[in-house]
Amino acid sequence: MKIATWNVNSLRARADRVEEWLERSDVDVLAIQETKCTDANFPSEIFEFMGYEVAHFGLSQWNGVAIASRVGLEDVQRGFENQPVFGKPGEDEVLEARAIGATCGGVRVWSLYIPNGRGLTDPHMDYKLRWLDALRANAADWLKQDASAEFALVGDWNVAPRDEDVWDVQYFLDNELTHISAPERAAFNAFLDEVGLVDPVRERTPGEYTYWDYQAGRFPKNEGMRIDFQLLSPALASRVTGAFIDRDEREGAGASDHTPVVVELG
């Protein structure tokens, strides 16, 4: 069984690339982020034609998450328990379309699009940290209830947890950028150190990135970031036989600024 995660940065704009990649990669489950679709205009037909069931959570032209599976799609859940809401001053708070879960081939898969944070003192940063903390609490509870549970938290985490996960950490520090701050890294690492989840991709892809900004020719210069992850429960991690980052999918016209991250299970 192969599980992939991919922030496609507008599914309708990249439908052809997604379809072609699915044909080449032969993955069983694809978790998608930043679809930028409502449920009404989500192009489900491209997945169904290829034999995938698909579930989507999208409220507007922003955010949006989905799971496509050819090994079953059961118990779909849009949003997780106690997921934080967000609203700008003077506006109603809403549950953003940033998390969807489903059971695929016996594995509970969550497609996650963690809030960006935007700035170190921006209200979105507090939202991001609260969001990660609530997700961590859920993951810890799932393992407390069943230590043998097989689940995967996959997606765009918008955190680079180690210095090696950005092309130039000093550039980020000098410009007071997000993704590498101590609170963000602590929130991410709590999933590994406190909950006990496993990142099976890093050890198999040393020095690789998953994201390159469109600006300033970042991709040709390999000025990237590792911010897309698959964090697995211990029981599921014990089944991992391989993992890779498909850097080639970042190349060419019309590419997303992220590239797929794939885990293979035995």
Which two structure tokens, joined as six digits, stand for 159? 């955190």
pLDDT in tens, 186-235: 999 999 999 999 999 999 999 999 999 999 899 999 999 999 999 999 99
Q: Is the pLDDT of residue 105 over 90?
A: yes
**Cβ–Cβ < 8 Å for 153, 110:** yes
Task: Name the active-site residue from 156, 165, 199, 228.
Answer: 156
Separation CA 234–CA 5 (nearest Å): 19
Task: Name the active-site residue from 28, 179, 211, 258.
Answer: 258
pLDDT in tens, 112-155: 999 999 999 999 999 999 999 999 999 999 999 999 999 999 99
Known binding residues are 7, 34, 156, 158, 257-258
Which two structure tokens, joined as six digits, stand for 104? 């695929």
Q: Is 113 a catalytic residue?
A: yes
Sequence-ordered list of residues with C-beta below 8 angstroms from that of 146, at least 6 positions apart, any chain: none
Separation CA 160–CA 164 (nearest Å): 8
Known binding residues for Mg(2+) are 7, 34, 156, 158, 257-258
Classify strands 261-265 and 53-57 as parallel, antiparallel or unpaired. unpaired
> pTM (2 decimals)?
0.97
Task: Name the active-site residue from 28, 52, 56, 113.
Answer: 113
Domains of the chain: total? 1
Q: Is 248 a catalytic residue?
A: no
Q: Please tell me whether residue 29 adopts helix, strand or coil conformation.
A: strand
Q: Is 56 a catalytic residue?
A: no
Q: Which domain holds residue 207?
A: 2-265
> 15: domain CATH number?
3.60.10.10
pLDDT in tens, 53-94: 999 999 988 999 999 999 999 999 999 999 999 987 778 899
For residue 88, the model assigns a pLDDT of: 76
Q: Is the dihedral of CA 82, 95, 259, 220 positive or negative?
A: negative
